[in-house]
Amino acid sequence: MTDQAKLLTLLQISDTTFPTGAFGFSGGFERLIGDGWVSTPQDLQRILLDDVLPRWFEFDRFYVRHSHRSFGQLDALRELDEECDAQMYMPALRDASLTTGRGILTSHAKRGTTGAGDILSELRAGGLLGHAAIVQGMVGSALDLDEQVTEVGALHGVVMSHVSAAVRLGTLGALEALPLLAAAASAAAEHMAQPLPDSPRSFAPFLEIAANRKAQNGAQLFAN
């Protein structure tokens, strides 16, 4: 695959219109906005830079990278998947990760991505759980995208899902989101230059508690 083809592939699978199911989850933003913790673009930027990005780089990135390296090794992938699952102790975030991972695999199987159909069959048979970060790494490897390009695509999806959730919830407009995305891109580039952690660690209690709280009036736009 040429560099141009790889870039076009990355743009396709990272686009918010690519059906992964991630649009159904707000990552806790629905409760944060409902409780008044996020009411301005500045509030959203602070949470993106101080909570969302650090959590992704300290946790998800580890599994994206290692599943990319383990593509084709079912036992290694299963072990990574189970380890990822064991560390996601907040039900809402765990369910979102599993739903998104299954959505990614289903879409790539329809797309014809190499190995996606076999992996989806393994997942349905109970051989894999299918957490999003694990699936993203596998898909990147299957598409012949290198580790860093795969990481960029996965991270882009996380940032866009949170920002689009805030737009859909009326916290900011699409134009107001642009400087937030620019700030997130700059911060992400700095994080990306840092080495991969030796082991995954996840500590974002502000987001985790928010993601597990239900709307007080029972009305919710997002699954969590």
Distance in angstroms (rounded) separating the CA atoms of residues 12 and 193: 25
Rounded mean pLDDT, 140-165: 89
pLDDT at 219 over 80: no
What angle do the packed helices 132-142 and 116-124 form, to 10 degrees? 150
Separation between Cα atoms, residue 79 and residue 74, nearest integer Å:
9
pLDDT of residue 41: 87
Count of beta carbons in the 10 Å neighbourhood of residue 56:
22
Which residues, 6 or more positions from 124, have their beta carbon under 8 angstroms from its beta carbon?
none
Is residue 217 over pLDDT 60?
no
Grade residue 222 by pLDDT with cuts at 50, 70 and 90. Answer: low
Give the range with max mean pLDDT: 30-34, 51-55, 208-212: 51-55
Q: Give residue 218's region: left, alpha or beta (phi > 0; psi -120 to 50).
A: left
Stated length of the chain: 224
Give me the architecture of the 27-209 domain, per CATH: Orthogonal Bundle (1.10)
Instruction: Please report, to the nearest 10 degrees, the dihedral formed by the alpha carbons of residues 61, 64, 65, 67 taken in order.
Output: 150
Average pLDDT, the chain: 85
pLDDT (tens digit per residue) in 51-89:
889 999 999 999 999 999 998 888 999 999 999 999 988
pTM above 0.85, yes or no: yes
Domain ranges of the chain: 27-209
